[in-house]
């Protein structure tokens, strides 16, 4: 049973029929974030800019629910080009602290709005 729907201006609004996140008990299931600026709604241009914005958007979702990076227990990363994987690892390492969340990474043919990276996270109250 859904306990609460996450809605915040600290991350982009949903661009389809889904919620920014759903809380079930102590768990938060956040929708994937792409490099959209939540204020302008514009997609950042470069891979590096999109990756940075994705992490800012995740930060916004976490902050909206009074969670921290340490609350994240699992992430899934979708990329259109795995050749950029080293950049993702570097950003991931600076965003999270050890012990790192569990993670899956997959290369996909395309992402919404022409994005090149998308990350979704699952968090839990500590």
Q: Which domain holds residue 85?
A: 4-124
Domain count, the chain: 1
Q: How far apart are CA 88 and CA 86, in angstroms?
A: 5
Here the CATH number for the domain that contains residue 96 is 3.30.1330.40
Spatial separation of the C-alpha atoms in residues 48 and 84, rounded to whole Å: 9
Per residue in 58-111, pLDDT tens? 999 999 999 999 999 999 999 999 999 999 999 999 999 999 999 999 999 999
Tokens 């889904």 locate to 18
Average pLDDT, the chain: 96
Query: Is the per-residue pLDDT at 2 higher than 80?
Result: no
């Amino acid at each position: 049973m859904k306990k609460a729907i996450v809605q915040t201006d600290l991350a982009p609004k949903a661009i389809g029929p889904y919620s920014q996140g759903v809380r079930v008990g102590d768990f938060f299931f956040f929708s994937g974030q792409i490099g959209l600026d939540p204020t302008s709604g514009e997609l950042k241009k470069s891979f590096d800019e999109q990756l940075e914005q994705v992490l800012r958007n995740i930060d916004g979702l976490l902050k909206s629910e009074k969670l921290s990076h340490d609350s994240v227990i699992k992430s899934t990363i979708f990329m259109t080009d795995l050749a950029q994987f080293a950049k993702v690892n570097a950003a991931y390492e600076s965003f999270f602290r050890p012990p790192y969340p569990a993670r899956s990474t997959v290369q996909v043919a395309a992402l919404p709005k022409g994005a090149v990276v998308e990350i979704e996270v699952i968090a839990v109250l500590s």
